[in-house]
């Protein structure tokens, strides 16, 4: 019968958890401090550990690091009522089997114990990381935080995928800050901003006199990041002519400055894109071999509309230094908004409101959100009869379909699931001339 050690300074909670563990067919032991836990572990015969983080004296992360120093250490699952991005990432980086929030249900505990019993322990080292600020407690973001913790200490290349504004550079910085390279440079290159003729010098540098205008040596991004992390943002925008040179540098870990000799480099590569690189490969705009070299560990960042639980915590974070607070109607409006610009849009909206609003509370009317007043969201429509409301909704959907098809009425009709002639009739009803030139239809809400 497996023996589970419960480490928590709350005696009542520890006893309750131990009782559930016993009901699930395991033996349970309790330690009310880190020191007690180490004493029990020294006696052996512990098959798994359930560990709280907040304890007086030796905290959970310190104890976890001590436990993981032993080559035959049992798997450790962190259970905390105070989950943060930083402690989730650090716990996983240090080798925790999982990181869960309390209270944990009986079914989830049974699953966890079953998985821990068959697990091989992962080793880790104590961290003195300076974590990047990472707001998000939704299930989607907690999975990403755990992945960050697992890959932080490795040298595996990471490809971060996600829409514009989702926080791809923040994830890259979190991987760097929690890893063994954290005391070395983090260098970011925006691939979309580099002119084609400057790519080689931007990445690999040059020597003085290598070409006209080279008045002094320049290191380039690879040498600036030596020992640390090179973040290639918007990697999908890199010109095809430059990609073989990047691939060679990644494979050989050697770069050649313009006008110079080969130099070995030790750089961890993290890249990011909002483009579909697989589609770019099929279109011949991105090398397949480079794609595979970058796509070792993919991290897919969800859009903000898919992590609604994070919207208000992010809003409070962005407003923290302003002294402003959200009124209830403003909070509801933020949750309803689709956030096409994701976290970047949210931050922009709230920073603008914090500057322009004179009072201490920000209301829904203070938020400069799309849909605009000219094309409002159904949530903002005044009370009216059902036929009028349906007519307004129909007009809104037609506007969207026309905008997304860039004025192509046949495509818009297919999107709406109606015949093109019916679309023309409805356009006339709302005062739009179907014979107008393509692209002159009403624009989509900004």
The 10s digit of each residue's pLDDT in 70-81 is: 867 899 999 988
Question: So what's the pLDDT on residue 376?
Answer: 53
Is the model's pLDDT at 417 over the cut of 90?
no
Rounded Cα distance between 228 and 224, Å, is 9
Question: So what's the pLDDT on residue 387?
Answer: 66
Strands (E), 289-380: 297-300, 325-326, 361-362
Q: Is the Cβ–Cβ distance between 319 and 296 less than 8 Å?
A: no
Rounded Cα distance between 36 and 49, Å, is 13
Rounded Cα distance between 50 and 29, Å, is 10
For the chain, give the mean pLDDT: 84
Question: So what's the pLDDT on residue 380?
Answer: 52
Q: Give the SS3 label for residue 371.
A: coil
Pick among 1.10.8.60, 1.20.1280.50, 3.40.50.720, 3.30.70.100: CATH of 305-369: 1.10.8.60
How does DSSP assign 286-299, residue by residue?
Answer: S-HHHHHHH-SEEE
Is the model's pLDDT at 432 over the cut of 60?
yes
Is the model's pLDDT at 436 over the cut of 90?
no
For residue 105 the two structure tokens come to 């249900």
Question: So what's the pLDDT on residue 399?
Answer: 78
**The domain at 151-300 falls in which architecture?**
3-Layer(aba) Sandwich (3.40)
Q: How many CA atoms lie within 13 A of 277 on its CB side?
A: 26
The 10s digit of each residue's pLDDT in 98-119 is: 998 888 888 889 889 888 876 6
CATH class of the domain at 373-446? mainly alpha
Question: So what's the pLDDT on residue 384?
Answer: 58
Is the model's pLDDT at 441 over the cut of 80?
no
Q: Is the Cβ–Cβ distance between 370 and 348 less than 8 Å?
A: no
Residue in 389, 392, 441 with CA at minimum distance from that of residue 413: 441
Is the model's pLDDT at 439 over the cut of 60?
no
Q: Is the Cβ–Cβ distance between 6 and 17 less than 8 Å?
A: yes
Domains 3-127 and 151-300 alike in fold? yes
pLDDT band of residue 261 (cuts 50, 70, 90) is very high
Distant-in-sequence, close-in-space partners of 29: CB < 8 Å, separation ≥ 6:
3, 4, 5, 6, 18, 40, 46
Question: So what's the pLDDT on residue 114?
Answer: 85
**Where are the chain's structural domains?**
3-127, 151-300, 305-369, 373-446
**144-168: average pLDDT:** 94
CB neighbour burial string for 182-212, b if at least 16 within 10 angstroms, e if fewer? bebbbbbbebeebeeeebbbbbbbbeeebee
Longest dimension (CA), the chain: 85
pLDDT band of residue 440 (cuts 50, 70, 90) is very low
**408-430: average pLDDT:** 81
**156-184: average pLDDT:** 94
Distant-in-sequence, close-in-space partners of 2: CB < 8 Å, separation ≥ 6:
26, 27, 47, 48, 113, 117
Q: Is the Cβ–Cβ distance between 125 and 94 less than 8 Å?
A: yes
**Range from 308-322, 373-387, 403-417 that averages highest in pLDDT:** 308-322
pLDDT band of residue 123 (cuts 50, 70, 90) is very low
Is the model's pLDDT at 25 over the cut of 60?
yes
Is the model's pLDDT at 91 over the cut of 70?
yes
Task: Please tell me the CATH superfamily of domain 3-127, with its number.
Answer: Response regulator (3.40.50.2300)
For residue 130 the two structure tokens come to 């300076």
Q: Give the SS3 label for residue 50.
A: strand
Q: How many CA atoms lie within 13 A of 365 on its CB side?
A: 0
């Amino acid at each position: 019968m497996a023996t589970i050690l419960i480490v928590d300074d709350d005696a009542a909670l520890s006893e309750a958890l131990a009782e559930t563990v016993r009901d699930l067919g395991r033996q349970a032991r309790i330690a009310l401090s880190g020191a007690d836990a180490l004493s029990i572990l020294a006696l052996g015969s512990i098959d798994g550990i359930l560990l709280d983080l907040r304890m007086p004296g030796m905290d959970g992360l310190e104890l976890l690091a001590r436990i993981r120093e032993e080559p035959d250490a049992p798997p450790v699952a962190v259970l905390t009522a105070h989950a943060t991005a930083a402690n989730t990432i650090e716990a996983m980086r240090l080798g925790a089997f999982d990181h869960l929030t309390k209270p944990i249900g009986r079914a989830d505990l049974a699953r966890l114990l079953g998985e821990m019993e068959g697990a091989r322990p992962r080793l880790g080292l104590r961290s003195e990381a300076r974590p990047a600020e990472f707001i998000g407690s939704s299930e989607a973001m907690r999975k990403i935080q755990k992945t960050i913790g697992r890959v932080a200490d490795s040298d595996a290349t990471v490809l971060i995928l996600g829409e514009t504004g989702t926080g791809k550079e923040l994830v890259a910085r979190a991987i760097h800050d929690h890893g063994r390279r954290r005391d070395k440079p983090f260098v970011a290159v925006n691939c979309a901003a580099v002119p084609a003729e400057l790519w080689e010098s931007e990445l690999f540098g040059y020597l003085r006199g290598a070409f006209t205008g080279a008045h002094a040596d320049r290191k380039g991004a690879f040498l600036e990041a030596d020992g640390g992390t090179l973040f290639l943002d918007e990697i999908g925008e890199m010109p095809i002519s430059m990609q073989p040179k990047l691939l060679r540098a990644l494979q050989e870990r050697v770069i050649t400055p313009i006008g110079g000799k080969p130099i070995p480099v030790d750089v961890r590569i993290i890249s990011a894109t909002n483009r579909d690189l697989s589609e770019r490969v099929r279109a011949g705009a991105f090398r397949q071999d480079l794609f595979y070299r970058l796509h070792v560990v993919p991290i897919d960042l969800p859009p903000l509309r898919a992590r609604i639980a994070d919207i208000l915590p992010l809003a409070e974070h962005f407003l923290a230094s302003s002294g402003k607070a959200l009124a209830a109607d403003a909070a509801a409006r933020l949750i309803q908004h689709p956030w096409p610009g994701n976290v970047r849009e949210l931050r922009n909206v709230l920073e603008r409101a914090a500057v322009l609003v004179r009072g201490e509370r920000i209301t829904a009317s203070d938020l400069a959100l799309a849909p605009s007043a000219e094309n409002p969201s159904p949530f903002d429509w005044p009370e009216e009869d059902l036929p009028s409301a349906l007519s307004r909704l129909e007009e809104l959907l037609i506007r969207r379909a026309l905008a997304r098809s860039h004025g192509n009425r046949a495509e818009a009709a297919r999107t709406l699931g109606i015949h093109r002639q019916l679309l023309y009739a409805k356009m006339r009803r709302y005062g739009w001339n179907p014979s107008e030139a393509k692209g002159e239809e009403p624009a989509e809400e900004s």
